[in-house]
Chains A and B, each alone.
Chain A
């Protein structure tokens, strides 16, 4: 199936490898750009270590790298393989996600010191920041999957979009709700048209648009392609919305309101450690829910094939 998609688009598997690493690079740039300043240093250090190791390896053993990437492309692009591999990974991902989230939240709620200005209300950060960052990250991931689905018509990329959208919508909602409740004791109001709250609201609308479009189209391949196009357009829009809303706020309010006086730089390492745990935990949670949904979707789409009948029986 995947080799068919490659020949139809007339593009070699190498293009897949290059675009995959470009996508990873874009994702990491996004993480670094959107993270609070202290987390940014952590991301930068991690990103550089990974990048140097990856490209050292790619230059030192190019043959092995290309082979591995090509194998991944064919395995991940093939629904039965993906179903099986995801099934092997899922139990481990569930364990890691649960441990990270529980340890992070308990540490943040009970053990981290209170904030010197906000007291204990700041503890909502351990919910709010991971949810916001996961909602943003999920949309970028959806855009990358959309690009792959449009160029190579890879069935798995369409399935990935369908699996990511509900998670992203829920995370955007969690970010908005926790932000509103945090805003009441901090700003004295549940809702202000703050740049970040507003762009998160628009992100939620865009997730709902992708979900609605998918539900409106009967044919699954056509629905997948349409949702892919919408998510690619949406990624461009997310960036422009962010800048335009920032500009709009500077026009109306003079200074932007921050949860922590002078941005995130005030956050103490003892508060940051549980935050990072929660963030990583949320990313693993992302992997868990996306894999569960993708497996369900694969089963349903391939319900007429022999391997699904064996699997289900």
Chain B
């Protein structure tokens, strides 16, 4: 477990020294969501009906784009090779890395989402479900996407490939995430859908680091 807290501390320290990496995904999320009201006709109710899909797809893309650099800087600096031979379980190192990445880029995105939801004319009652859904969904997206990031870490033009590998894996989270908001808009109870999102998070969080660690070992040629 010492690997866990050390990695967590290291990631937070690194991020505090280059805050731009942290802000960029957030900025991307806000800009993409703001594009939609300009692109669709101002029919009453249309924006509200589209809002779940817009917010979730934008959040998904922001998470995916932020993941491209998750292991790349470590690989370029040679830190990754050190992590692979370090006498601590790679599982916990990976867990800490992905959790730190979520805390630094995913959490701000979740926190700003209710504001964007309000701008998309969502009623105030459903903003809670939006927040909770993203709170459960974005870490799941992080852990799934980290598998793709680990497999493409050493490749040139890896970011395009990452999208191709990871987007099909994101579909269940997208369906249930946007679905939870859709149900909230119809006034139906959202707890069953939130339970499914939570189950997916539990699965991604427990099994994901195994796959990520294996992917890192494969990418390093082991």
CB distance from B144 to the nearest CB of A (A): 8
Contacts A226-B215, A233-B147, A251-B182 given; does A212 touch B161 at CB 8 Å: yes
Interface residues contributed by chain A, number (CB under 8 Å): 28
B164 and A209 form a contact (CB under 8 A): yes
Contacts of B211 in A (CB 8 A): 229, 232-233
CB distance from B99 to the nearest CB of A (A): 20
Contacts A229-B211, A237-B169 given; does A247 touch B179 at CB 8 Å: yes
B79 at the interface (CB under 8 A from A): no
A226 and B218 form a contact (CB under 8 A): yes
Quick one: which of A210-255 are within 8 Å of B by CB? 212-213, 216-217, 219, 222, 225-226, 229-230, 232-234, 237, 240-241, 243-245, 247-248, 251
B175 and A248 form a contact (CB under 8 A): yes
Give the number of A-B contacts (CB < 8 Å).
Answer: 71
A202 at the interface (CB under 8 A from B): yes
Contacts of A251 in B (CB 8 A): 179, 182-183
A206 at the interface (CB under 8 A from B): yes
B155 at the interface (CB under 8 A from A): yes
CB distance from A240 to the nearest CB of B (A): 5
A229 and B147 form a contact (CB under 8 A): yes
A216 and B218 form a contact (CB under 8 A): no
A226 and B171 form a contact (CB under 8 A): no
CB distance from B176 to the nearest CB of A (A): 6
Contacts of A206 in B (CB 8 A): 168
A229 and B218 form a contact (CB under 8 A): yes
A141 at the interface (CB under 8 A from B): no
B191 at the interface (CB under 8 A from A): no
Binding site for A on B (CB under 8 A): 147, 151-152, 155, 157-158, 161, 164-165, 167-169, 171-172, 175-176, 179, 182-183, 200, 211, 214-215, 218-219, 221
- Give 10 closest A-B pairs by Cβ, nearest first: A244-B172, A244-B175, A225-B218, A205-B168, A240-B172, A209-B165, A248-B175, A206-B168, A226-B151, A209-B164
- Contacts A226-B219, A233-B169 known; 18 new A-B pairs at CB < 8 A: A202-B171, A205-B168, A208-B164, A213-B152, A213-B165, A216-B152, A216-B155, A216-B157, A216-B158, A226-B218, A229-B147, A229-B151, A229-B214, A229-B215, A230-B165, A240-B172, A243-B172, A248-B175
